[in-house]
Amino acid sequence: MKAASAVLIQVQRQMTLIGLPVSLLLIAGLAGVLGFVLPVVFDFPALVIPGGLLGFIVAWIYLVKHQRINPNHDRELLVAPMFWGSRKGARLLTTGGPK
């Protein structure tokens, strides 16, 4: 894949925070929030902070590993389900060409 500009050769890489694109970082944060909420719901107050930290760290490690293997992992994880789940009717995919 060629770069879009000879000067801005980094144009194809997404902005990342602690190794993840922002959308995947939000997913890891939601896993951490889930780790905070579940011990409260099930009345285990001693596990609230360790559960939240463990949830975030495990999700972060999982997502960083998959993002390094496939740089498009965030789009495959988030955009493809939105495309296929957006309409409930039949979907016809066609290729370009003469009409």
Predicted local distance difference test score (pLDDT) of residue 27: 93
Q: Could you give the angle at which helices 73-85 and 22-41 cross, rounded to 10 degrees? A: 80
pTM of the model: 0.68
75 C-beta neighbours (distance < 10 Å), count: 13
3-class DSSP state of 16: strand
Distance CA 20, CA 38 (A): 25
Predicted confidence (pLDDT) per residue in 11-66, tens digit: 566 778 888 888 899 999 999 999 999 999 999 999 999 999 999 999 999 999 99
Distance CA 10, CA 71 (A): 14
Domain ranges of the chain: 18-72
